[in-house]
Structure formats: structure tokens, C-alpha cells
Amino acid sequence: MVAPIYLDYNGTTPHDPEVIAAMRPFLESEFGNPSSSHWYGIRPKRAVENARRQVADLLGCDAGEVFFTSGGTESNNHAIKGMARARKADGRHLITTTVEHPAVLEVCRYLEQEGFTTTYVDVDETGRVDGDAIRAAIRPDTILISVMHANNEVGTIQPIAEIARLAREKGITMHTDAAQSMGKIETNVHALGIDLLSVAGHKIYAPKGIGALYVRNGVLPQKFCHGAGQEMGWRAGTENVMAIVGLGKACEMADHNLAHATRHLAAMRDRLHQGLVDQLADVRLNGHPDDRLPNTLSVAFKDLEANRILEEIGLEVAASAGAACHSDTVQLSHVLEAMRVPVAWAKGTLRFSTGRMTTMDEIDRAVAAVVQAVRRLREAG
């Protein structure tokens, strides 16, 4: 059986062969604990610090401002809970948006049980938040703003630098979840002006279960993982050396190849979009037409159900749905709801996301499969 064409790179990415090669020694022979002072700890320790520099180079920061985590979710938890608890004497008000990943939204909701309050700022119909809306949400007791760099479902890129300037003017800590933007667009922390930034390894061709958090020098979130003091005291626990090495290599590759990758991702995305709109009526783009990730295509097929389309193409194309349709209900994603996408369109939304390995032949075959499936479903009524 031939595997389906993979167009769900926003969900996760395959391991790049160069990442696998970099990790291999730490699976096969270099098993030492990087905290050990003897011979077996030397190479693992050096590998961890080299990886830290590789991540820092991609972010444009000092290596000492990066520590490793188990992934984007932990990084978001550490950033938001850590800063909220560290600054609660200054206030208990948080600001985020209605289109954040659950790894941000659920953290904010949890903190509300500890006496914090959150303002969830609405976005426009393209999924973009307005800087003036953030400004209007700021209160004297606001201590933290967390806005994702780019949306995982529709790809819309947020005006992070503008929001960060507002935060800095008011003495508010600024965090951004960059899980989806790393390796696709520029993520220089100084250009963005942020205080904390979350990284997820499995979105940039590194393993699952590894991530990082950038913390600007002078910013001091409260620790929530206590132990022997690894990772400069920020995150206790013996380091996952193999995965850390993989993340470092992935960041090095992203740093060196960003411009080429961006062009390729956009070319594949646009070829897919054009192929669909050329052959099908009633196709709608969700998200910002310009300010979106180069690899992300959220597209709606009017009056169809996303899960039915996925069933039709499941043996040929791997993508994800923007809505779950059951016998008598339609459960839309919170992102599409926040963007006020009409139900007739939202329920038929699919997200396709291209990657470095995507080829033109795969795109053309995917277009053919989706077009045929949509036509069959429309003819069946």
C-alpha cells in the first residue's frame, strides 16, 4: 500500500535525516549523564551546550537565555504560570486572544482558579488581532500579555512587534508562542521585542517531546519544576540529550535555509490552493490572505462536512479538519468561531500544511484527489 500524501506538517513533522544523524551517537553510544563530572558526561554536556547555541542563533539571542523543556506545551505553561505567579504582587490581570492554542487558553483558565483574571481579545475575520484592541484591554493591574506568533489552524501572523511595544510602554511582560512560526518565518526575539518565546521541536523536523523557552535576561518567571537544578536552575531533571541534540540541529538547519524554505513552502501551498479554486466552485480561504504562514492553507468547501471529505481522501491525502460533524451537531474549531466564519463554510474546512519534503507531484496528486472527492460528495447531495 502506498502511503497517503502528507499535508499535515502543522500537526507534526517527520524527522529530518540530518537530525537523525546528529542524534544517533546519543542513542547508540554516548549515553552519559551531562551532569556527570567524569569522562562519560563530557560529550553529552558539550552536545547540550552546542544545541543551546544552535537554538539561540535561530532566535538571535544569547545561549544563556534558552533552556530546554519537554515541548511547546510545557514552555507555554512555564512562561505563563511562571510570570503570573512571579508578578502577582504587581497585579493579577492577563491578556491573550480568542484564537490561541489550548496550551495557552487552558493555562489562563487554570490561573483564574488562583485568583487571576484574563481578557480574551477578539480577532477580526482574518484571525488577526488589532493592536488597538490589545491597548484597550490593558488595565493598571495587567502583568502579562501572551499572543501567538502565528496561528496553527489558519496561519495568520499576529503583529507581535507592535503588541510588544505596547507591553514595554506599560511595563507588562510579553510572551509569544512561536511553535508554528519557527523555521517558516523570522523569529528574531529582538526584532519581535518579546520577553519570552516558546519553541516546539516536533514542528521543525526534530523529535516530539522536546522544546525550549527563551527568557530574556532580567526576566524571572517563578520555577515550577524543582529538583537538582539542571538547565541553569530553570528546569530540573536529567536532560534528554538525544532530543536536545535533534532540536539544536533542526534549528541550525532552519537558520541556514530559512529563505529557501519559505519560498518552497509558499510555492507548494499556492499551487495547492490554485489547483483547487481552478477546478471547484464555492471554495473559500480562511485566514489572512497575505500575513499568514507560507505553508498553511485553511480552505472551506461550502455546505460539505470536513470529516466526510477526509474519509473520501483518507487513503490518498493526510490533512486535518476544522470542524467535527456528528449526526445532529457541528462542533467548529474555536479559531473558526472566533473568526466568525459562517457555519455553512466552517463545517467544510480542511487545513493543509506543506513542508520541506513536499513535492510538486504530491501537490498535483493531492489536488486531483480532493477535487474528485468534493465532486462526488456534491453529486451525492
Q: Is the pLDDT of residue 326 over 60?
A: no
pLDDT digits (tens, 9 = 90+) for 127-152: 999 999 999 999 999 999 999 999 99
Average pLDDT over residues 27-33: 96
Above 90 in pLDDT, residue 324? no
The percent of residues above 70 in pLDDT, for the chain, comes to 98
| Listed residue (125, 116, 184, 113) closest to 149, CA to CA | 184
Q: Could you give the C-alpha distances from 75 to 119, 225, 253, in angstroms and in order?
A: 21, 12, 22
Query: Which residue ranges does the chain devote to CATH 3.90.1150.10?
Result: 5-12+258-380
State the cell numbers at 335. Answer: 479559531
pLDDT tens digits along 204-238: 999 999 999 999 999 999 988 889 889 988 898 99
**Mean pLDDT (the chain, rounded):** 96
What is each CA distance from 121 to 18, 86, 95, 136, 220, in whole angstroms?
Answer: 41, 23, 7, 9, 26
d(CA 308, CA 185): 33
Q: What is the mean pLDDT of residues 245-264?
A: 97
Rg (CA), the chain: 21
Looking at residue 1, its pLDDT comes to 73
Q: Tell me what pLDDT residue 225 has.
A: 87
How far is residue 192's CA from residue 152's CA, in Å, rounded to a whole number? 19
> Any idea which fold 17-254 has?
Aspartate Aminotransferase; domain 2 (3.40.640)
Q: What is the pLDDT of residues 160-175, one digit of tens each?
A: 999 999 999 999 999 9
Is residue 123 predicted with pLDDT exceeding 70?
yes
Return the CATH fold of 5-12+258-380. Aspartate Aminotransferase, domain 1 (3.90.1150)
When pLDDT is averaged across residues 283-309 and rounded to a whole number, the result is 97
The number of helix segments (H) and strand segments (E) in the chain equals 12, 15
Is the pLDDT confidence value at 325 over 90? no
The pLDDT tens digits for 6-23 are 999 999 999 999 999 999
Decide: 216 and 65 in contact? Cβ < 8 Å. yes
User: 331-358, pLDDT tens digit by residue?
Assistant: 889 999 999 999 999 999 999 999 999 9
Identity at 274, one-letter amino acid code: Q
* Residue matched to cell numbers 515550577: 224
Task: Tell me whether residue 108 is one of the annotated catalytic residues.
Answer: no
Give yes or no for residue 381 having a pLDDT over 80: no
pLDDT single digits (tens) 102-116: 999 999 999 999 999
Catalytic residue (choose from 61, 108, 251, 325): 325
Comparing 329 with 289, the larger pLDDT belongs to 289
Q: Count CB-CB contacts under 10 A for residue 380.
A: 7
Domain boundaries for CATH 3.40.640.10 within the chain = 17-254
Q: What confidence score (pLDDT) does residue 322 get?
A: 80
Helix axes 241-279, 360-380, angle to 10 degrees: 50
